[in-house]
Structure 1
Amino acid sequence: MRSLAGIGLAALLVTTAVGCAGNPEAAGTPSSTPPQGSASSGPKSPIAAASHSPVPVGHTLSLTGINAGEKLDVTVVKVVDPAHGTDLSSPPPGKRLVAVQFRLHNTGSTTYNDSPANGAKVVDTQGQGFDSAITDTTSAGPNFPATTTISPGGKALGFIVFEVPAGSKVAMVQFALDSGFSTDVAQWKVH
């Protein structure tokens, strides 16, 4: 009987641990990105401590993901601030849109299949981080699709749009694979 009770306790502990791993708040770690399909509700903390020294916009950084074989060369091509939204993408009063164009090159041995917008943030001069916003399009150019798939050796180019307070000055762009959960975090300085 003791072994059945021990197995039951072990199963309960594993279930609790798995539940906490899937829910960063339950594990005591703040969530770094909103679930896909939810709008950014305001300032957020940066993704994590960057593992790369900040580089200027236009430079490429190599990032690895959580799983074996996940590797991307990521370039912030340009920052459009302000970006003008379409009728469906206009920001609320007191906010503006900032569009960041990323180039992703899959240099790994496995297919990249993720939502780049979930792994990106902009950070203002006061250290406030802002998640991507849900927008249709902006005057800057086409956004990445909700899910982007890049085969090994393949490339993709697209914008990720952020909604920031009108008075905030964007100082940094951050990006990480695996919807922002990878600990390999890149940063680009915005002039």
Structure 2
Amino acid sequence: MRRTTITTLAVTAALLFTATACTDDDITTKPSKTGAAEQPADSEPAEAPEDEPTKATVAKVGDTITLKGQEDGSKVDATLKKVVDPAQPKDEFFAPEDGNRWIAAQFELTNTGTKPYADSPSNGAGVADADGQRFSATFADTKAGPSMTSSAKVPPGEKVLGWITFEVPKGSKIVTVQFGLDSGFAEQTGQWKLS
């Protein structure tokens, strides 16, 4: 009886290890489109010489990162449009806890896939400070603008725009913003660096 239990535990542990080892979580920091690329129609884009290597870039506010979801055909261009730090409460009824502040990040999510994008976008968003502390989204309306919907249902070719709010300590220097599809469970996460 004891031998069967040990064997069962060993098999279960091996299966869990295999399932964990097979995940391909990826944090993407390279933009697919940069905010700087949006030039006026009358200006000519500068071309790099053919022998000059392309410089790797890190996504910043205004840049777009293309993200894939868990299902085939699930793909979104996520753009971090703006960040407001600190973000002021929309009314006098709600405010950050004492010693904290709110930060609001505006995301534009364009469905570039072949199936509808259905998600609660704030579940997949987060920020990190210079000390490595990470903070999830909180439910708060700010003066920055309309909050992101909690139930996005976006057909292919359409987009959703809104603000996601984070509550962080007043002394934290926020250095990155992250966003992932499927409430953050997709294997790919986009990351934008703040100055």
Say which of 103, 107, 110 aligns to 2:108: 103
The alignment status of 1:79 with 2:83, answered yes or no, reads yes
**Higher-RCO chain (CA-CA 8 Å, sequence separation at least 6):** 1
Please tell me whether the aligned partners of residues 100 and 159 of structure 1 are also in contact (alpha carbons under 8 angstroms). yes
The superposition leaves residues 161-181 of structure 1 with CA deviations (integer Å, 9 ceiling, x where unpaired) of 000000001100001000001
Q: Secondary structure at the match of 1:117?
A: helix
The match for 1:172 is: 176
Larger radius of gyration: 2
Map 1:1-191 → 2, pairs under 5 A: 50-53=27-30, 54-85=58-89, 86-135=91-140, 137-191=141-195
The superposition leaves residues 43-88 of structure 1 with CA deviations (integer Å, 9 ceiling, x where unpaired) of xxxxx75133441110111000001110000000010000011223
Displacement over 2 Å in runs of 4+: 51-54, 86-89
Q: Secondary structure at the match of 1:171?
A: strand
The superposition leaves residues 81-122 of structure 1 with CA deviations (integer Å, 9 ceiling, x where unpaired) of 000112233001000000000011000001011010000001
Identity, in percent, stands at 44
Aligned residues: 149
Please tell me whether the aligned partners of residues 74 and 113 of structure 2 are also in contact (alpha carbons under 8 angstroms). yes
The 1:116/1:125 distance shift into structure 2, 3 A limit, reads same
Q: Secondary structure at the match of 1:75?
A: strand
**Any gaps of 5 or more consecutive residues in structure 1?**
1-8, 21-26, 29-47
TM-score by length of 1: 0.73
**Any gaps of 5 or more consecutive residues in structure 2?**
1-7, 31-57
Shift in Å, 1:145: 1.5
